[in-house]
Amino acid sequence: MCGIVGYVGEQQASPLLMDSLKRLEYRGYDSAGIATLHEENITVWRSSGKLTNLQNVIAGAPMPGTVGIGHTRWATHGEPTEANAHPHRSGHLVLVHNGIIENYVELKHDLAGDGYEFQSETDSEVVAHLIHRWMAKGHGFQESVRLGLKDLAGSYAIVLLSEDAPGMLVAARAGCPLVVGLGDGDFFIASDIPAILHHTRKIIFLDDGETCTVANNQITITDLDGITREKTPTHIDWTPGMAEKEGYRHFMLKEIHEQPQVVLHTLMGRYNPEHGDAVLPDLGLNPDTIRNLTRLWLVACGTSWHSALIGKYLIETMAKLPVHVELGSEFRHRDSLLNKDDVVIGVSQSGETADTLAGTREATARGAHVIALCNSVGSTMTREADGILYTHAGPEIGVASTKAFMGQVTAFYLLALLLGRTRGAMTPEDGVAWCSHLAGIAPHIEHILATEPEIERIAGKYYRDSDALYLGRGLNFPIALEGALKLKEISYIHAEGYAAGEMKHGPIALIDRQMPVVVLAPRDHLYDKMVTAVREVKARNGLVVAIVTEGDDTIVDLADDVYRIPEVDPMFTPFLVTIPLQLLAYHIATLRGTDVDQPRNLAKSVTVE
């Protein structure tokens, strides 16, 4: 939800902090601030609005110091004002925080009773005063942090700096991500890897309940009781360029164009075209478990939930295994029938989504085998799971998920193959055909990307509209949901995805000349039903934008605009139908002038409930 950073080393801190915050802006961008310590004095600068506002504020102001912290905010408690921006100060110490403190109200009353005055409406400022109070009672900086954190309920990733401990940073996490980068005589602390990847690839992932102290070129990690924990750094093989725009106008467009590679990288080494089977050793599932499995649960949110719906269709069709798809935010609050004999897959790009994590943690508590289908190496979900299925999409910076979704879809095709062949529901011949189709997908995506101007032209006709309906059936019903989500979250047009068969049960009342209807009608066993849907819309003077298979000779005569995808086996159309919808949303949003990479009110990783 927010981005936090810290630096201690031999270089001037402020430019490094600002550069890292820029790389974290996708996590939240309604206010920002940094603090540096020089000659035992902490200087704090904060501003509301985007990071450029803070840049302007500190442009002429001296910010000396080789140690500092920074924050870019996605407001949860209190308006996005300068007063509510981080870092928050309490006497000689300053703090930045990501997360939500659930007991901050009672803590605030208690602190006020001890004479503390509050300058903001935030829960984060309470944490600063809480730790200050422990130091005022004579405890050391690190111990005071540990004692203060024991008083908290909720989630946090924090970094603190104190005038009483020059050259020292203390950090901690519970429920929100935090990584430590080991440089050459420098230490970098951040919410996410892209913020510090251009400095170092040696990363330590903090776990929940751990604190980290960096001082005198040393790093110490402990639990909240001060017991030291040994952590081995992970070498991250992403290049810094992977986290940059590389000439594209927006991260989102770059990431849409990276999707052929994402499919190839996610498939690489995980299937055997000759034998027609998949190789997924990190799931932690043995063949007998797979054969005896009676049901599978998929837990996810947003776009990841859409890919899970595709996973359901594929796995039930190819492996004859019942699949329950659950929204994380719903699943965590109902008494599901989940038990120890089940397998649960958490589907998440970030691996940090609070609602999804709550679902996987509930599954673990019930003894189920939990797998993380995830794009973020070392994220919380991957470190808590029994098994892992990584989508090798590389860092996804755009808030609207595109290439990560493609990686998830690819992973589900691999999973369906593994489960189908292991359970005997797919013959070797079925498997060889499945692998052949998978191997041929990337070039088809390249072909669609090369025809982007066609989609840009269509976007030019509809970007002024205020509503849109997306219709699909079968495997493409989840794609209709995903296309609508892409449009609404970056263009702010009210778009709804619907099962096409549901049109006559209500949504058809919405059809008029102002309501463009995007119809997903590739050649498959439901094509004729989609032709009927197009006719229903046209009979009510609706506008139809149809995604059809090359060679279609029916819908092309009925629709107002048509985009043709290459012919593929019907079971593989989701790979291709998705791309024009992503590009349509992108170009409509660009024409509307919205902030495509950082849409209003959103954040890349929703680490709070």
Binding residues vs ligand AGP (CB under 6 A): 301-304, 348-350, 353, 356, 399-401, 489, 605-606
What are residue 212's DSSP bridge partners? 171, 221
CA dihedral 192, 194, 195, 200 (to 10 degrees): 110
Give min distance, CB of 490 to ligand AGP, in A: 8
Q: To which H or E segment does residue 354 belong? A: helix 354-365
Is residue 2 flagged as an active site residue?
yes
The residue among 48 and 408 lying less far from ligand AGP, judged by its C-beta, is 408
| Catalytic option among 2, 212, 301, 374 | 2
Pair of tokens at residue 279: 């190789």
Query: Using CA atoms, how far apart are residues 9 and 239, in angstroms rounded to an integer?
Result: 23
Q: Quote the least distance from Cβ 405 to ligand AGP, whole Å.
A: 7
Q: Determine whether 435 is an active site residue.
A: no
Structure tokens at 66: 């080789």
Amino acid of residue 363: A
For residue 296, CA distances in Å to 265, 361, 527, 540 come to 26, 16, 29, 42
Q: Do 592 and 607 form a contact (C-beta atoms < 8 A)?
A: no
Minimum distance, C-beta of residue 396 to ligand AGP, in the bound complex (Å)? 9
Angle CA 520–260–563, to nearest 5 = 30
Give the tokens for residue 576.
Answer: 């291709």
Helix H or strand E segment including 390: strand 387-390
Tell me whether residue 31 or residue 356 sits nearer to ligand AGP (CB atom): 356
- Neighbouring CB atoms inside 10 A of 294's CB total 9
| H or E segment to which residue 32 belongs | strand 31-38
The closest of 553, 566, 551, 485 to 518, measured between CA atoms, is: 485
Smallest distance from ligand AGP to CB 605, Å: 6
Residue nearest to ligand AGP (CB): 302
Amino acid making up residue 325:
V
Which residue, chain included where needed, has tokens 């060889």?
Answer: 432
285 and 478 Cβ atoms separated by less than 8 Å: no
Q: Would you say 47 or 350 has its CB closer to ligand AGP?
A: 350
Is 325 within 8 Å of 308 (Cβ atoms)? yes
- Closest residue by Cα to residue 37 from 170, 193, 195: 170
Instruction: Let me know how long the chain is.
Output: 609
Helix, strand or coil for residue 63? coil
CB atoms within 10 A of CB 398: 24
Report, in Å, the least distance between residue 411 CB and ligand AGP.
12
Q: Which two tokens stand for residue 238?
A: 């992403």
**Residues 6 or more apart whose Cβ sits within 8 Å of residue 19:** none
User: Which helix H or strand E contains 111, and what residues bound it?
Assistant: helix 104-113
Residue with Cβ nearer ligand AGP (214 or 585): 585
CB of 57 to ligand AGP, least distance (A): 30
Quote the CA–CA distance of 185 and 179 in Å, as a whole number: 17
Q: Which residues pair with 327 in a beta bridge?
A: 300
Contact residues for 261 (Cβ-Cβ < 8 A; gap 6+): 442
Q: Find all residues with CB under 8 Å of 182, minimum gap 6, and list them.
A: 200, 202, 203, 204, 219, 233
Q: Give the nearer residue to ligand AGP in terms of CB position, either 192 or 277.
A: 192
**Between 210 and 489, whose beta carbon lies closer to ligand AGP?**
489
Q: How far apart are CA 536 and CA 389, in angstroms?
A: 42
Nearer to ligand AGP, 189 or 400 (CB): 400
Between β-strands 494-499 and 516-521, what pairing exists: parallel, antiparallel or unpaired? Answer: unpaired
Q: Which is nearer to ligand AGP, 195 or 606 (CB)?
A: 606
Query: What is the C-alpha separation between 103 and 40, in angstroms, rounded?
Result: 32
Q: Which is nearer to ligand AGP, 66 or 605 (CB)?
A: 605
CA atoms within 13 A on the CB side of 94: 28
Q: Considering beta carbons, is residue 182 or 310 the nearer one to ligand AGP?
A: 310
Reduced to 3 DSSP states, what percent helix, strand and coil does the chain have, rounded to the nearest 5?
Answer: 40, 25, 35
> Among residues 142 and 353, whose Cβ is nearest to ligand AGP?
353
Residues annotated catalytic, as ranges: 2, 604
